[in-house]
Amino acid sequence: MAQHGTGPRVVVVGGGIAGVSAAYALARHPSAPAVTLIEAEGQLAHHTTGRSAAQLIENYGTHPLRALTKASLPYFLHPPEGLADGPLLERRGVLSVADDARSAEFDQQLAEGIAVNPTIAEVPVAEAVALFPALRPEPIARALWEPESYAIDVAAVHQSFVRGLRRAGGTVALHHRALRIERAGSGWRIRTGAGGAAAPDPSVPGDGDGPVLEADVVINAAGAWGDDVARRAELTPIGLRPLRRTAFMVASRFEGSGAWPLVADIEHRWYVKPDGVQFLCSPADETPSAPCDAKPEEVDVARAIDAINGATTIGIRSVASSWAGLRTFTPDRTMAIGPDPSEPTFLWCVGQGGTGIQSSPGAGQLVADLALDGRPGPTFDPSELGGLTLDPTAFGPARFLPPAP
Ligand X SMILES: Cc1cc2nc3c(=O)[nH]c(=O)nc-3n(C[C@H](O)[C@H](O)[C@H](O)COP(=O)(O)OP(=O)(O)OC[C@H]3O[C@@H](n4cnc5c(N)ncnc54)[C@H](O)[C@@H]3O)c2cc1C
Between 129 and 292, whose beta carbon lies closer to ligand X?
Answer: 292
SS3 145: strand
Closest contact distance (angstroms) between CB of 128 and ligand X is: 21
187 strand-pairing partners: 184
Work out whether the CA dihedral 352, 358, 363, 364 comes out positive or negative.
positive
Closest contact distance (angstroms) between CB of 170 and ligand X is: 16
Closest contact distance (angstroms) between CB of 353 and ligand X is: 6
b/e string for 304-328 if b means 16 or more Cβ within 10 A? bbebbeebbebebeebeebebbbbb
DSSP string, 42-100: SSTT-SGGGG---EE-SS-S-HHHHHHHHHHHHHHHS--TTS-SS-SEEE--EEEEE-G
List of residues 6+ apart from 373 with CB closer than 8 A:
29
Between 84 and 247, whose beta carbon lies closer to ligand X?
Answer: 247
Applying CB under 6 A, the residues found at the interface with ligand X are: 13-19, 38-41, 45-49, 51-55, 177-178, 197, 221-225, 229, 245, 247, 282, 325, 327, 352-358
Closest contact distance (angstroms) between CB of 201 and ligand X is: 10
* Distance in angstroms (rounded) separating the CA atoms of residues 72 and 52: 17
Between 32 and 221, whose beta carbon lies closer to ligand X?
Answer: 221
Between 2 and 299, whose beta carbon lies closer to ligand X?
Answer: 299
Between 32 and 285, whose beta carbon lies closer to ligand X?
Answer: 285
Between 99 and 228, whose beta carbon lies closer to ligand X?
Answer: 228
Closest contact distance (angstroms) between CB of 137 and ligand X is: 26
Between 125 and 174, whose beta carbon lies closer to ligand X?
Answer: 174
Q: If you ran DSSP here, which 8-state letter would residue 223 be given? A: G
Whose CA is closest to 208, among 235, 233, 181, 227? 181
Closest contact distance (angstroms) between CB of 140 and ligand X is: 23
- Ramachandran quadrant class, 168 (left: phi over 0; alpha: psi -120 to 50; beta: rest): alpha
Closest contact distance (angstroms) between CB of 26 and ligand X is: 15
